[in-house]
Amino acid sequence: MTASAFRLLELHNRINQGKSLEKADLLETFCIDSKTFQRDINKLRDYYREKGLGDIIYDRKENCYRLDKSAKHLTEKEIFAICKILIESRAFNKEEFNKIVDKLLILCQGEERRGVKDAINNERFHYLELQHGKALIDDIWKLRQTITNQQIIEIDYQRADKKIKQHKVKPIGIVFSEFYFYLLAFPMDVTIEYPIIFRVDRIETIKITSGTFTIDPKGYDEAGFKRRTPFMYSGELQMIRFEFTGVLEALLDRLPTVRIEKETEKGVIARAEAFGKGLEMWLRSQGDRVRILGKEE
């Protein structure tokens, strides 16, 4: 290996570990002049930009060169925030959770990695997976592919009473809500205007059939359906008009479809729509903070 190649590898290793490159120190270490050092830096810059690894910038305050990944890569602050969401959502079992966190931490540089790791270490150690304890990522991706390819599938589904029932369905979407992933699908045996909701962790088997289907893109909007199923209940679309006297911000965050008609002395008159009985059940659970004025199906 030539001296030039060795220097470039050494500089690459240092900067990739989150270390800074101080010119005076490196001139002495490698017994090179300023022009050679600058030529090495320029080569590294070109390589990192070409590979999308970040930019090597000169930090005038610290008088050194360092790697800046913020433009195209997750920062340690963003990785910390994502880890917190994973911890609080409890979406995955402990094995899948730890694999994802480890891969996120690799994206951090040396000191930053230790900082994020220390910040989440206690919560990570005490991470509490859900009772089902199932690995879900493979099934979620398999279902996502059947949605993309519009393939009819047969699933063995365990109901809340532990009984297994087989369903033949047209999968159209996957959503996440309050701990669980859900499959949205239209049944093959009946014609209805709304999809049925299946918890992914309760799906025992997934069989991809040779049949396919088509869905009018104007007739179904995954994001729109999610807004209308804040409680993951399936059923006819309901619109409910009500008076609300609680904290308005909490109402707006909980019900994405809510529309405020007018203000009252105590609160607001509002209306919201959702599939199934979940909306009405939630409104009635709010006690004297809600007065239902009417509903339509």
Structure confidence by residue, pLDDT tens digits, 157-212 = 999 899 999 999 999 999 999 999 999 999 998 888 888 999 999 999 999 999 99
Nearest to 80 by CA among 115, 122, 126: 115
DSSP state of 229: -
Do the beta carbons of residue 215 and residue 150 sit within 8 Å?
yes
Nearest to 238 by CA among 285, 196, 271: 271
Please state, rounded to an integer, the average pLDDT across all residues of the chain: 91
* pLDDT tens per residue across span 236-254: 899 999 999 999 999 999 9
Return the amino acid letter for 32: I
Q: Quick one: fold of 237-296?
A: Alpha-Beta Plaits (3.30.70)
Interacting residues of 207 by C-beta distance below 8 A, sequence separation 6+: 153, 154, 155
| Most confidently modeled range among 10-19, 52-61, 114-123, 207-216 | 114-123
pLDDT given for residue 278 in this prediction = 92
* pLDDT, average across residues 283-294: 95
Share of the chain above pLDDT 90, in %: 61
53 pLDDT band (50/70/90 cuts)? Answer: confident
Q: Does 3-68 carry CATH code 1.10.10.10?
A: yes
pLDDT given for residue 110 in this prediction = 73
219 pLDDT band (50/70/90 cuts)? Answer: low
Ramachandran quadrant class, 178 (left: phi over 0; alpha: psi -120 to 50; beta: rest): left
CA dist 88 and 8 (Å) reads 43
Do the beta carbons of residue 109 and residue 194 sit within 8 Å?
no
CA dist 295 and 277 (Å) reads 11
Three-state helix/strand/coil letters over 6-72: HHHHHHHHHHHCCCCECHHHHHHHHCCCHHHHHHHHHHHHHHHHHCCCCEEEEECCCCEEEEECCCC
pTM for this entry: 0.77
Domain spans in the chain, listed from the N-terminal domain onward: 3-68, 76-125, 137-227, 237-296
Structure tokens at 19: 């270390």
Backbone torsions φ then ψ of 267, nearest 5 degrees: -175, -125
Rounded to the nearest 5 degrees, what angle is found at the Cα of 116, between the Cα atoms of 82 and 25?
130
Between the CA of residue 110 and those of 6, 12, 16, 71, 119, what are the distances in Å?
22, 14, 8, 19, 14
Give the distance from CA 190 to its chain's centroid. 33
Burial class of residue 243 (count of CB atoms within 10 Å of its CB; 0-12, 13-18, 19+) = middle
Q: Which of 59-68, 98-107, 266-275 has the lowest mean pLDDT?
A: 59-68
Do the beta carbons of residue 180 and residue 139 sit within 8 Å?
no
pLDDT given for residue 217 in this prediction = 56
Return the amino acid letter for 276: G
Pick the CATH number of 137-227 from 1.10.3720.10, 2.60.40.10, 2.30.30.520, 3.40.50.300: 2.30.30.520
pLDDT given for residue 258 in this prediction = 95
DSSP state of 200: G
